[in-house]
Amino acid sequence: SDPVHNVCLELATVGDLKLCERPQNYAMAPHATLNIRANIKVSSTETGIIYGNIIYDVGPAPSNSANIGDGSSMVILSDVHIDIMDYITPAECSQLQYRSMWAEFEWENKVAVNTTITDPVKYLRHVVACTNMKCLTPIDDQDTSECGFLAANLYAKSIFGEDALVNVSIERQRDGVLSGNLRIRSKTQGIALSLGDKITLKQKVTE
pLDDT tens-digit profile of 115-150? Answer: 998 888 899 999 999 899 999 998 876 655 567 889
Q: What is the DSSP string of 44-79?
A: SS--EEEEEEEEEEESSPPSSTTSPPTT-EEEEPPP
User: Which range has highest mean pLDDT (23-37, 92-106, 186-200)?
Assistant: 92-106
Q: What is the pTM of this model?
A: 0.70
207 alpha carbon, distance to own chain's centre = 19
Residues 11-67: tens digit of each pLDDT: 888 877 788 888 888 888 888 888 888 888 776 666 678 899 999 888 766 555 444
Q: Determine whether 109 is exposed, middle or buried from the number of CB atoms within 10 Å of its CB (0-12, 13-18, 19+).
A: buried
Q: What is the mean pLDDT of residues 68-81?
A: 79
Compute φ and ψ for 7, nearest 5 degrees: -70, 115
Residues 115-124: tens digit of each pLDDT: 998 888 899 9
Evaluate whether 88 touches 158 at the Cβ level (below 8 Å): yes
Considering only residues 22 and 168, tell me which one the structure prediction assigns the higher pLDDT: 168
pLDDT of 63 reads 54
pLDDT of 186 reads 92
Evaluate whether 120 touches 178 at the Cβ level (below 8 Å): yes
Q: What is the mean pLDDT of residues 160-184?
A: 92
Q: What percent of the chain has pLDDT over 90?
A: 34
